Amino acid sequence: MKKLLFKNGQVVSGSEVFFADVLIEEGKIKEVVRRKGVHISDKKIFEKRFFGFGKIPEIDCTGKFIFPGIIDAHVHFRDPGQTQKEDFSSGSKAAVSGGVTTVFDMPNNIPPTTTVQNLEKKRKNIAKKSYANFGLYMGFDGKNIDEINMAQGICGVKTFVANSTGNMGVNNVALEELFEKVDRSKLLAFHAEDEGCILANKEKFLEKYPSGRIKSRGVDPSVHSKIRAKECAFMAVKTVCELAKKFKRPVHICHVSSPEEVSLINEYREFGVTCEITPHHLFFSDDDYGHLKNFIKVNPPVRSQSDVFGLWKALSAGEIDMIATDHAPHTVKEKKLSYASAPSGVPGVEVLLPMLLTSVSDKAFGLSDVVRLCCEHPAEIFGALGKGKIVEGFDADIVVVDMEAEKKFTNKDVLSKCGWSPYAGCVFKGLPVMTFVSGELVFKNGKIVGKPQGKEVSFGR
């Protein structure tokens, strides 16, 4: 039986950081042995504890931290249909390089994952090429409730209240039917922006431009944050929360972008409403259009500096349940198009953990906060079995972190197929140095190693 022992490190949970040795066996966590100090003082006690295991290969984690694998519950790996931007091989390599061992992939592919047939084709396509574990969403297109109810093993049902990449937006009549008729064991997740509000703002803010200029490079990309204003997001969040209350079923709001949305969600917590935030809504603002232009064009858009401050305040207060990247790569060529033609979305899966560890180094929050927001809560909200914790019996998805390691991140470092990142130029303080998926090493000291180990996640809600 294959065994591996992580020695002399500090295990990080959502509530504490403690010295421990972690034994894994056949892809599972076998034992977690706590220690009082940096090393076990009595060798005989150690040998007795592991008596009968024989000689075990060891990973010396002295001075390092042992994290459960990060779960990114919101990625767009563009596979199938747009693999010139990303595919599951390149996307999952990017993921594990950043300590992300599990991803949940969105359904707005080409063709969209709205039928059981397309879901099974996608599963078959991914099966042997993902370095990270994965879960798959089904998409709601307003008329496929029977298909959704037949789908097995999905992580959730994604609904776009407004059109975004893929144009899968649905109206309020369809939303009511979704809440009423979809099997209650399936978690409903929402891209919450109000389409009517967006269209009204588009007419308002673009009316001064001749149609030809809109299609050219004459429109400042910062107008995106005015067109898809935070009021549009607030209206849609209100609609979803009211339906959660009416039908008494849990919902998950994706990528909140303003403090007002968070405050509203807090009023509906008793009905099982949860939410996530992205790194780009925490680390960028509308001031960044000046130098990033369409490279920071996302849906929902980045907000003002005061909104960013309010989101950090809400995060620190425990009012945001989890962090997910909404990793949505597009090519450089596409992003260099005019505002109207450039697609929305930025890559982010490989910098999620380094950005947050840098924030820990800057005293913005603690290591346990990272695990709670990126491991434990995603696993709990989505019902991912055996994920999110370093405890006996859980899957051996493990990340070894060196908080003293530093690196300036550049576009040359990007493993995502798109080849660029809005985070290029950032200096990270705190890095994943080894990533294990189901007990197998897949990333070490800046390089992908071994073969794809990712398996589809099982869910139990």
pLDDT, tens digit (0-9, with 9 covering 90-100), for 201-215: 998 988 776 654 555
Amino acid at 44: K
Cα separation, 335 vs 342, whole angstroms: 5
Position 55 scores a pLDDT of 79
Mean pLDDT for 222-247 is: 97
Residue 398 has pLDDT above 90, yes or no: yes
* Global confidence as pTM: 0.94
Distances (CA, A) of 208 to 165, 203, 335: 26, 9, 24
Residue 394 has pLDDT above 90, yes or no: yes
Cα separation, 88 vs 416, whole angstroms: 10
Amino acid at 21: D
Position 218 scores a pLDDT of 74
Q: How would residue 41 be classed by pLDDT, with cut points 50, 70 and 90?
A: very low
Position 51 scores a pLDDT of 43
- 39 in Cβ contact with 68 (< 8 Å): no
Mean pLDDT for 130-152 is: 97
Position 198 scores a pLDDT of 93
Q: Indicate which residues carry an active-site annotation.
A: 326
Cα separation, 183 vs 172, whole angstroms: 19
Assigned fold of 69-382:
TIM Barrel (3.20.20)
CATH number for region 3-66+395-408+428-448 = 2.30.40.10
> How many other CB atoms sit within 10 Å of the CB of residue 216?
14
How far the first Cα of the chain sits from its last, in Å, is 31
Residue 117 has pLDDT above 70, yes or no: yes
Q: What are the domain boundaries of the chain? A: 3-66+395-408+428-448, 69-382
Residue 313 has pLDDT above 80, yes or no: yes
Mean pLDDT for 250-267 is: 98
Percent above pLDDT 90 for the chain: 87
Token pair for 292: 């990033």
| Angular region, 279: left φ>0, alpha ψ -120 to 50, beta rest | alpha
Residue 162 has pLDDT above 80, yes or no: no
Helices within 159-248 (DSSP H only): 172-181, 195-206, 211-215, 224-227, 230-247
